[in-house]
Structure 1
Amino acid sequence: MQKTFVKLGAAMRAPLAPALAPVAALAAMTTPAEAHVKWFAPYIVGAAPRPISDTLTNSWFWLAIALVLFFFVATRLVERTPAGEIVLKGFDKVSNPLWLRLDDFVRCVIGAFFVAIFAVGGVYLTPDLQTPAEWVSWLQLLIAFGIFSRRTQIFSAAGIILLWVLALRDYDIFHLLDYLALGVAVAGYLVLDASKNPEWRKHRFEVLRWGVAIALMWSSLEKFAYPEWFYPLVVEKPFLTFGMPRDVFIPMAGVAEFTMGFGLLWTPLIRRLSAVALFIIFNAAVYPFGRIDLVGHALIMAIIVAIFADPTREMHFLPKLKLPLQAVPAGLAAALVIIAGSYWGLHLMIYGPEGRVTLDGEQMATHRPNAENPHTGMVTMVPADPDKVAAAKTAYEATMADMHGPMMDGMAYPDPDAAFVLGMIPHHQGAIDMANVVLQYGQDAETRALAQHIIADQELEIRQMNAWLTARNITPGAAASH
């Protein structure tokens, strides 16, 4: 076996170098921050997302898009040469033992997943979808048992759909759409795998691939629409950003997640290299985020392995349109327009232009406190650490001191309109600074969620006010000279 891999490595080394460049680059852009943020931090379901114009005017977003397009086009260039076929055949040799038993592998992982969430108890299908109904856990166990016979797989598929319907009944539909894509795909796989029709059955892995791709692309948009959801994680786990500024890392990570999901739907080499990069990223997230992340992402990780192992060269969806090099940017642009348009459009349709925000429990996703991520969940008030109390008090006082002088100076400007704007900018910045203090020291889920919302709103309004000043050639601090 060792000699086989040595020979394989020698045969693949030269052509693999350019082909694996996208894997290393895309993995570096996101690892290990691909944990689903809704599992680890509270969020307001009905809050209005940031305008899509914020993303379209973000230079870091476009830099990440340019990098991904470069790597995807480079991969397509390799794929069109004999070297590309050598790489794919090398992948085939590595994955062939798994490919021959891939259905057994996928069914085992699906079964193990449902046994795991049965053991956890009190959830539908993901860590933040909790339920007090005890019978749900027993249904999960029945689903796991039914997966191992083709005669009963269809009943397991029906059980999975039932769980998603129950979750949709109890939770907000908009923020379950990424989960829904994966659930329907797993149920679809079980139905197709049990089918005696070979034309239907050959699409079973393709259904899984589309489900994961849509789930990844949809959930990646949270990093653009709700970047404030990620702020508590960045405060508690600063290593996630690799030293990059928070507002640089989050949009670039969102681009990487979206484009790798898109890559799963493209040509064979891009598809398999995207699967490798995603597998590295999801595995890297397990250690910092613990077993909750492992259980929650088990199905996605297994399907990613299946995508890599699939040696099929045939493409069923728009195969001819994917072949030209210019199809890569065109296809990515189309995916962005369709998915992002659906995301912002559905939110607008469901919640209206201003969103819907309250601080009652129904507007918050619930989270189960656990030792690995003790800040999660709807926590109750507990006696505070005296050292943290003192540190928070000092931080709050510093925010007031920093705000007061510039705010008073701004309001001294002789023009009332400019005085309002010049005074409100430091006032808003003070609110942002206070919100960051509570994210660092606070522990109540409602105040933390409110702080996230305040940060998002105040940063947007500061940008609007600065644009107003720029249009009138007024600079902050100008009041002192009048």
Structure 2
Amino acid sequence: MLPSFPRNPGLGAALALTGALAPVAASAHVKWFAPYIVDAAPAPIIRTLNDPWFWTGIILVLAFFIVTRLVERTVFGERALDAMDRATNPLWLRLDDFVRIMIAGFFVAIFSVGGVYLTPDLKTPAEWVSWLQLLIAAGIVSRKTMPFSAAGIIFLWVLALRDYDPFHLLDYLALGVAVAAYLVLESSDRPDWRKHRFEVLRWGVAIALMWSSLEKFAYPEWFYPLVDEKPFLTFGLPRDIFIPMAGVAEFTMGFGLLATPLVRRLSALALLVIFITAVYPFGRVDLIGHALIMAIIIVIAADHTRELNFWSWIRRALIGVPIGLTGALLIFVTAYWGLHAAFYGTDTQTMAEIRAAQGEMATHSYSTEHPHGPQALATLRDGEELPQVEAVGLDDTAVASAYAQSMVKMHDEMMAGLQHEDRDVAFVLGMIPHHQGAIDMARIQLATGSDPENMELARHIIAEQLQEIDAMHAWLEARGIQVPDS
């Protein structure tokens, strides 16, 4: 039965567009590491408010902001800003050129990646999207066509709303709305509009950072597998100390981008260091995904503007630091927890409850590309699944059958690969299915096992073997050798 729309054409069209853009499969929010289970209820905010490490982080940041504001009022603050101006002056004189080059380069990069919307996180099977991205990059060459590129960016952002969860698309506000707004303002002939072009970029990144930082309070369990796989990320701090303090750092540095010139530029420099250091452990895809955000952060650090256009009195006042931070926390926490309840309801389980019911690794929807699938089902290969039985009380015969299937597949592919005439190539072609067999066994263990040491070993095997498989694929591709489909 078709829905009946009101006779008001404008409202009817709006409702039709809303229906067309309704999420197709919004149960998972795909990020760098795995598709998260986002319809789980966020942890009660009282858990964060009872965490002493949260308050430790807040106090440390408040102290830093207040000291920086006190220094900023003195001659030393002026000298510090003047020194930053001199250091960044060559970039400042060509800042619009830099931004336009980075935006165009970003869209060329994701065109080259292919199959994504505005970031490698947001995948799409529509090939024409990549060509639209190339047109967006081309439109940035001329100020006359920049508004069309801005419209294209907004169109991609809205398309992503159709395929992904609108609640978590707010993470990508800076990549969509803010960049598009910059292009519109930069192409304008009105000076009173153009003067806000860098400010809109700053607000877009700040809002995106503050919004996404709340995941560390609402869903700290999402980050447990990542911390387990890459323990160096915590700088030696225990997991339950590092995650809330990292959330505080991300939120407050985002807030700092909206503050007075010295505070925002120091916040931008700190964020730039964090993003740059993330490139090595997470690789080139991470660099592509964050390139535009990093470029905007560089713009903030190089921006010589000292004028405050909005709420200048409270932003300059010393008391404005705690008042502003408190207000920002209240607004964002209320919006995050409130909008989640509006989208998903209030009768869903929290991640802690899901993990207690399904196991240590039940933080994500299952993905064959990542080792963090739920416990109830493990996929051996595309289209080939374990018997669909509950993880608790699995039948021994079903588990043995799953192991047997994986070993037969591994053996057949190994023997085929070892027949290659080149001994070095034969070794690699044999080792790839060997490693994949270990991954398949580890996934079966995660789906059916219970021993904590074995579960940890299985996670370690998956992470290590995936990295080595990628290295072997790269070795073969460098020699022009086609890897047989598994």
For the criterion TM > 0.5, the same-fold answer is yes
Query: 1:129 touches 1:366 (CA, 8 Å); kept in 2?
Result: no
Matched residue of 1:248: which SS? helix
Unaligned runs of 5+ in 2: 1-28, 382-405, 407-436, 464-486
Distance 1:147 1:302 in 2: 16
Distance 1:88 1:241 in 2: 32
Distance 2:124 2:440 in 1: 37
Matched residue of 2:240: which SS? helix
> What displacement does 1:337 show?
0.4
Q: 1:50 to 1:74 in 2, by over 3 A?
A: same
1:277 pairs, out of 260, 270, 276, with 270
Q: 1:390 to 1:68 in 2, by over 3 A?
A: closer
Deviations 1:378-405 (A, max 9, x none): 9941544299759969x95655xxxxxx
Distance 2:174 2:118 in 1: 13
Which position in structure 1 is the counterpart of 2:380?
381
Which position in structure 2 is the counterpart of 1:349?
342
Matched residue of 1:43: which SS? strand
Which position in structure 1 is the counterpart of 2:233?
240
Deviations 1:374-429 (A, max 9, x none): 64899941544299759969x95655xxxxxxxxxxxxxxxxxxxxxxxxxxxxxx
Distance 1:310 1:73 in 2: 22
Which amino acid counterpart does residue 342 of structure 1 have in structure 2? A
> What displacement does 1:182 show?
3.6
Is 1:132 the counterpart of 2:131? The answer is no
Is 1:340 the counterpart of 2:333? The answer is yes
Q: 1:439 to 1:224 in 2, by over 3 A?
A: farther
1:256 pairs, out of 249, 259, 268, with 249
Is 1:64 the counterpart of 2:63? The answer is no
Which amino acid counterpart does residue 314 of structure 1 have in structure 2? E
Is 1:100 the counterpart of 2:93? The answer is yes
Deviations 1:31-65 (A, max 9, x none): xxxxx982212311211111111111111000000
Matched residue of 1:140: which SS? helix
What is the number of equivalent residue pairs in this alignment?
367
Q: 1:437 to 1:55 in 2, by over 3 A?
A: farther
Distance 1:391 1:365 in 2: 16
Distance 1:109 1:300 in 2: 10
Which amino acid counterpart does residue 312 of structure 2 have in structure 1? P
Query: 1:128 touches 1:368 (CA, 8 Å); kept in 2?
Result: no
> What displacement does 1:148 show?
1.2
Is 1:188 the counterpart of 2:181? The answer is yes
Q: 1:176 to 1:364 in 2, by over 3 A?
A: farther
Q: 1:364 to 1:142 in 2, by over 3 A?
A: farther
Q: 1:260 to 1:439 in 2, by over 3 A?
A: same
Q: 1:377 to 1:87 in 2, by over 3 A?
A: farther
Query: 1:279 touches 1:301 (CA, 8 Å); kept in 2?
Result: yes
Deviations 1:80-137 (A, max 9, x none): 1000000000000001110000000000000000000000000111122111000000
2:134 pairs, out of 113, 134, 141, with 141
Is 1:200 the counterpart of 2:193? The answer is yes
Which position in structure 1 is the counterpart of 2:84?
91
The sequence identity of aligned pairs, in percent, is 65
Matched residue of 1:381: which SS? strand
Q: How does 1:73-472 map to 2 (within 5 A)?
A: 73-355=66-348, 369=369, 375=371, 380-381=379-380, 383=406, 384-385=437-438, 398=451, 439-440=459-460
Q: 1:107 to 1:376 in 2, by over 3 A?
A: farther
Matched residue of 2:210: which SS? helix
Q: Which runs of 4+ in 1 moved over 4 A?
A: 356-359, 363-369, 374-380, 386-393, 395-399, 433-443
Deviations 1:152-198 (A, max 9, x none): 00000000000011000111111111213441000000000000000
Distance 1:390 1:343 in 2: 33
2:39 pairs, out of 37, 42, 46, with 46
Distance 2:243 2:212 in 1: 13
Q: 1:94 to 1:248 in 2, by over 3 A?
A: same
Distance 2:30 2:162 in 1: 22
Q: 1:389 to 1:211 in 2, by over 3 A?
A: closer
Deviations 1:281-304 (A, max 9, x none): 000000000011100101110000
Deviates more, 1:350-359 or 1:68-77: 350-359
Distance 2:367 2:187 in 1: 36
Q: 1:367 to 1:282 in 2, by over 3 A?
A: farther
Which amino acid counterpart does residue 355 of structure 1 have in structure 2? T
Matched residue of 2:348: which SS? coil
Q: 1:356 to 1:135 in 2, by over 3 A?
A: farther
Unaligned runs of 5+ in 1: 1-35, 400-432, 444-482
Query: 2:380 touches 2:440 (CA, 8 Å); kept in 1?
Result: no
Matched residue of 2:38: which SS? coil
Q: 1:376 to 1:155 in 2, by over 3 A?
A: farther
Alignment RMSD (CA, Å): 3.0
